[in-house]
Amino acid sequence: MSAANKLQPAMTATESVGWLPPYGGDRWELVDGTPRATAAASPRHGAIQSEAAILLGGHLAIGGR
């Protein structure tokens, strides 16, 4: 049997809505039809993200005038 025959069929976005993960955690993403667990963002990541949004928002507001 070839490796292609052993692959699980890809999950669609609609199928992933009702899917229950095999173990705990509430952060999952669908990558090429395969669900993958993701880590929560750290507080530092949130602070950097907020600062980037503020800077980008200010730049877009100035550029739109």
| Domain boundaries along the sequence of the chain | 3-63
Question: What average pLDDT score do residues 12-33 get?
Answer: 82
Q: How confident is the model at residue 6 (pLDDT cuts 50, 70, 90)?
A: low
Give the span between the Cα atoms of 4 and 18, in whole angstroms.
26
Q: For residue 33, with 0-12 CB atoms within 10 Å meaning exposed, 13-18 middle and 19 or more buried, which class applies?
A: middle
pTM, two decimal places: 0.46
Q: How confident is the model at residue 55 (pLDDT cuts 50, 70, 90)?
A: very high
Residue type, 60: L
